[in-house]
Amino acid sequence: MRCRTFGNVHRSSISLKLNAHRDCARPVKGSGKSSKHATLKIVNAARNAQEVVLVTGANGRTGQQVVTQLLAQGAGVKAVVRTTTKPEEVAAIEELAAEGDQLEVVGVKDLSDEAEVKEACQEVQAVVWCAQGDGKPEPMPQKVQKGLSTLARVVKMRLNLPTGDAKQDEQRAAAQDDGVLGGLDHCAAVMAENGGRLVLLSSAAVTRSAWSPEKQAALELCVDIPIVRLNPFGVLDSTRLAEQRLRESGAQYAIVRPVGLRDTEGPKSWPRGRPWISQGDVAVGRANREDVAGVLVSACFSESAMNKTFEMLTLAGDSYPPPADGLDAVFGRLQTDQERAEMREDMGFGDGDPSGPGEAAVRAQYGLAMQMLPGEAQEPTKLEMGRTYEEVDQGKVNRKKGAAATAREVALAARGEQRQSGTRT
């Protein structure tokens, strides 16, 4: 199913009412009030109007923000949603007002369907992948196995039993990457063939479960945190492997790894501010969802962001507005993934050199990143899954370093509720 709108209200067979608007300060439904911060300036504004960008996961909260901000930049947008999505789950798309901007909605039954995904990618110059996961088919036996593995791991933690070292974790992750491709890979193949670009919304912390025990001990403040300790359903492993497939796809790419996502207002919110961008996968903290969308859109149109992987958090508040000239200069100061590999940085596959310049750069980034933690305690190891830095400051949670998972954390991980406790949604 496909439908197209060019400004006027249109209803499709999956009950989507589509519009487009130019005011990026207007929030997506449910995200709270408008922010005082201006939209990030895009350097290649003239080129944007000539391009069409495909956005997967367009009905998600981050995807909606990406679509809104792309339209504000004058780009054409193909918004991909699953045809099986319930109408109430795409209701917020109805808030995208329509006066003159190009917006096409593409209904895809299954993101693992190569033909469907490649057809959707035709006549686009870039892809922003905001869908959860990498679009790989996952049979029910594999889902069950992941669930049982997660449960076994957290129970061992609860009983203070060994859960396996980093090498064993990497072997387990590698075994899951059986060569089966997903929607992300199919999009990358089209972009590689057509000279397009792909920006992947990933997540901070995806490499940390595969670091050596020595590196984990040296950088414990960003390792002994809930998502890394529990790694529910191997989400960090599968995401790390998806990133690497993208690097090897031949497409121009940027991999954006935000820390814990928060809306502008509402429960567990975080204000907009200035995107703080780093490398080395050591960032911990919070990222405002609108700011994340702005970074994704900026990377999409920036040659300086290509072939680079970086983390992002939000320095919150009106005192930290986004750079007036956009992020192009910020992206330009980052190293490409090839340069990082040549400096012998461990990119999550155990092939780094602890004494090399790459790992020295990671340690320097770590020292800076730990100063960006929210709250007063400045001790992320005190966090439990689903708890907040504010609760740590208030003494409501005070986990000890290296402590086993609590019964509550075991239950959260076993139910797959990691998406409610800091990983991206």
**Tens of pLDDT along 66-116?**
999 998 888 999 999 887 777 766 666 655 634 455 788 888 889 999 999
Cβ neighbours, 10 Å, residue 175: 9
Bigger pLDDT: 87 vs 12: 87
Q: Is residue 170 within 8 Å of 244, Cβ to Cβ?
A: no
For helices 61-72 and 289-300, angle between their N-to-C axes, nearest 10 degrees: 50
Distance in angstroms (rounded) separating the CA atoms of residues 326 and 4: 31
* pLDDT at position 36: 59
Going along the chain from its start, the domains and CATH numbers come out as 2-137+180-372 (3.40.50.720)
Work out the burial of residue 70: count CB atoms within 10 Å of its CB; fewer than 13 is exposed, 13-18 middle, 19 or more buried: buried
- Over 60: is that where the pLDDT of 350 sits? yes
CB-based burial, 245-261: b 16+ in 10 Å, e otherwise: bbbebebbbbbbbbbbb
Q: What's the whole-number mean pLDDT along residues 391-411? A: 83
Pairing assessment for the beta strands 103-108 and 126-129 based on DSSP bridges: unpaired
State the Rg of the chain over Cα: 21
**Tens of pLDDT along 180-222?**
899 999 999 999 999 999 999 999 999 999 999 999 999 999 9
* DSSP H or E run through 369: helix 357-369
Give how far the C-alpha of residue 20 lies from the chain's centroid of Cα atoms, to the nearest Å.
24
Q: What's the whole-number mean pLDDT along residues 50-61? A: 91
Give how far the C-alpha of residue 216 lies from the chain's centroid of Cα atoms, to the nearest Å.
22
What is the reported pTM? Answer: 0.83
Instruction: State both tokens at 401.
Output: 């370093």
Establish how many alpha carbons lie within 13 A of residue 6's alpha carbon, considering only the half-sphere containing its beta carbon: 0
Cβ neighbours, 10 Å, residue 401: 10
List the Cα angle 247/249/252 in 5-degree steps.
70
Confidence of residue 59 (pLDDT cuts 50, 70, 90): confident
What is the percentage of the chain residues whose pLDDT exceeds 90? 53
- Over 60: is that where the pLDDT of 363 sits? yes
Distances (CA, A) of 271 to 97, 413, 421: 24, 28, 18
- Over 90: is that where the pLDDT of 355 sits? yes
- Over 50: is that where the pLDDT of 288 sits? yes
Distance in angstroms (rounded) separating the CA atoms of residues 109 and 14: 11
Average per-residue pLDDT for the chain: 80
Bigger pLDDT: 276 vs 318: 276
Instruction: State both tokens at 16.
Output: 């989507």
* DSSP H or E run through 363: helix 357-369
* pLDDT at position 97: 38
* pLDDT at position 230: 85
* pLDDT at position 155: 59
Q: Is residue 73 within 8 Å of 42, Cβ to Cβ?
A: yes
Instruction: State both tokens at 393.
Output: 């400051």
**Tens of pLDDT along 131-183?**
999 988 765 455 555 555 655 655 565 555 555 544 444 444 443 556 789 99
CA proximity to 104, closest of 197, 20, 44: 20
CA proximity to 241, closest of 209, 272, 263: 209
**Tens of pLDDT along 304-346?**
999 999 999 999 988 899 998 999 999 999 999 999 999 999 9
* pLDDT at position 85: 73
Cβ neighbours, 10 Å, residue 203: 22
Bigger pLDDT: 285 vs 230: 285
**Tens of pLDDT along 24-55?**
444 444 444 445 565 677 766 556 667 999 99
